[in-house]
Amino acid sequence: MPEYYLALAALLFCIGLVGAVSRRNLFVIYMSIELMLNAINLMLATFARAQNDHGGTVMALLLIAVIASEAAVFLSMIITLFRTNRTIDADFFTNLSQEQNP
């Protein structure tokens, strides 16, 4: 019954996607991204199991490690941003916008 797992993964991914796009709190965005990554992980594991190919499992394990290191970088960046700007509102950081650099 891999469909259920896949459906769950898709659901998780969509929740993460909507969260990443619509929320302004950097932490929530971060968590949404984690959610999406984990949805992918779940999908990899599901396919690995369904097709009896452990390449997918290896991939999932590798991804967990990457996610962990990414979490370290991301969280420290958020802290640095908060220290310099006293805010973690994503819409505050618009340095790349056209209006600021005409």
Shortest reach from residue 80's CB to other proteins, in Å:
16
Q: What's the CA angle centered on 43, arms 69 and 27, to 5 degrees?
A: 40
Distance (Å, whole) CA 63 – CA 12: 17
Strand, coil or helix: 72: helix
| 3 scored as a contact of other proteins (CB under 8 A) | no
CB 23 within 8 A of CB 30: no
Q: Is 94 among the residues that bind other proteins (CB under 8 A)?
A: yes
Give how many residues touch other proteins by CB under 8 A: 17
DSSP structural state of residue 98: T
Q: Which of residues 84 and 95 has its CB atom nearest to other proteins in the complex?
A: 95
Please give the residues from 41 up to 70 whose contact with other proteins meets the rule CB under 8 A.
none
Give 68 or 96: the residue with its C-beta nearer to other proteins: 96
Residue 96 in contact with other proteins, rule: CB under 8 A: yes
